[in-house]
Amino acid sequence: AQTVTQSQPEMSVQEAETVTLSCTYDTSESDYYLFWYKQPPSRQMILVIRQEAYKQQNATENRFSVNFQKAAKSFSLKISDSQLGDAAMYFCALMEYGNKLVFGAGTILRVKS
């Protein structure tokens, strides 16, 4: 069965600094997709970044980038130049065949000014 583990319940970062959120997963498939979602206090889930497992190149979206280690089944999110608006719950998620997303427990990110 596919599982996603986020081992950091909470993280803090100083404004303008860099923070990395960890995620590991387990799957028996070779072809799958990985996602990071952000959930601010408004509760609206927002897609931050997406990675296709068959692509070795790490995905990047502006200040957000991932470190995808397929052999280690690791998918961490790096946020550079952190801003107050980055404060949210972040979820790592895995999609295999069948379009179902499996989520981790989430990491609360606090940004200090």
Partner 1 sequence: DVKVTQSSRYLVKRTGEKVFLECVQDMDHENMFWYRQDPGLGLRLIYFSYDVKMKEKGDIPEGYSVSREKKERFSLILESASTNQTSMYLCASSLLEGRGSYGYTFGSGTRLTVV
The minimum distance between CB 93 and partner 1, in angstroms, equals 8
Site for partner 1, rule CB under 8 A: 4, 6, 9, 33, 35, 37, 42-45, 47, 50, 52, 91, 95, 97-106
Nearer to partner 1, 87 or 104 (CB): 104
Shortest Å distance, C-beta 17 to partner 1: 26
CB-count exposure of residue 50 (10 Å: 0-12, 13-18, 19+) = middle
Q: How far is the CB of 75 from partner 1 (least distance, A)?
A: 14
Planar angle of CA 58, 78, 14, nearest 5 degrees: 165
Question: How far is residue 14's CA from residue 28's CA, in Å, rounded to a whole number?
Answer: 38
Joined together, the tokens standing for residue 14 give 């100083």
Report the residue number, 11 or 102, with the smaller CB distance to partner 1.
Answer: 102
